[in-house]
Structure 1
Amino acid sequence: MTELMEKSSALHFGDDRELLREVLKPYRDNCKYLRSATMSVVDGVATAYGEFAIPNSCYIDDTGHFNSVEFNICFNQLGYYLTAKCIKERALAEFSSWNMDDYYERQLPDILITALASRFRRAIDSDAFQGETSFGPFTERNVRRPMLLNEMPVRFWDTAGGKATGTVNVVLFSPALSTVSASA
């Protein structure tokens, strides 16, 4: 797509294996838990859906269930995919001036988690589970440098009724937005 999507549109993007491979490049091979991902944009809200598998934890012996460290890693991978897919498809105005080179340059140094809250309602089988996250409304700031803030809901589940939910506050530094003013 060459133009930004209209806020009232409903679009769905299938699994983009090449993009997923690029997004997961910074991760060690034994820590690539996101297996496939799709994205939808409905009424201006971009949501990524992912299929995950953790055959062996990258940091601990097998616990037999999805845990808080893996929650964070899986959110990171799905959140990175959502950001990259939004940029690639020109899906959100907040990323209108970014291109894929900007994303890959900023993926690690300029996208940070500032707070993470998770709740485990029922144990999730880490061998196969799903997850989703969305961008909430963006807030623009320019204290020391331009930034976008976002509170992202996230949830994970499995076919046996396992469930975990949470909220992750994310900051994107140097968003290259013309709308971020020095007085914000």
Structure 2
Amino acid sequence: METERLTLRPIGRSDEDSLRALHADPEVMRYLDPAPVENYLGDGFHAAVEKATGRFAGWFEFKGTTEVELGYRLHRAFWGLGYATEGGKALIERGFTAGDVQRVVATTMFVNAGSRRVMEKCGLRHVRTFHADFPDPLPGTEYGEVEYALTKEEWQRAQGERHVADGIS
């Protein structure tokens, strides 16, 4: 799958070193618990490769059937460039138009303002703030986790409104 600036493809064994390097960055992992690289090699995980350079930018998760979890993790060099939003929107569009997806959900720590902003730019809306018990809580856990979501109906309505605003019928 391609976006304007990214190629999204299934993560494979050849990406293991790139995944380890991404997950070794303490700033990238600031709001995340580490998990074995093998966890990202299954269905629903996509390597994000910058088309212009061929560099591994990070990964996207789009996993589920009718309810799909959206996730993303990018190298710091790709932060603030709109890549997370670009990849997220593309996966959402494909899920709603070519798949059986009825609802997209995403969660993050309340204090992760950057990730929350990406969710909002992708069209997801805040559903709830909740507190979960973690055996080894990260700093900021005391403020809770947030869930964002977008239904297919909401997405279709927004697409129609965008076309009207753009003068497209």
**TM-score for both structures, normalised by structure 1:** 0.30
Greater strand fraction, Structure 1 or Structure 2: 1
Which structure would you say has the larger RCO, counting Cα contacts within 8 Å and 6 or more residues apart?
1
Greater helix fraction, Structure 1 or Structure 2: 2
**TM-score for both structures, normalised by structure 2:** 0.32
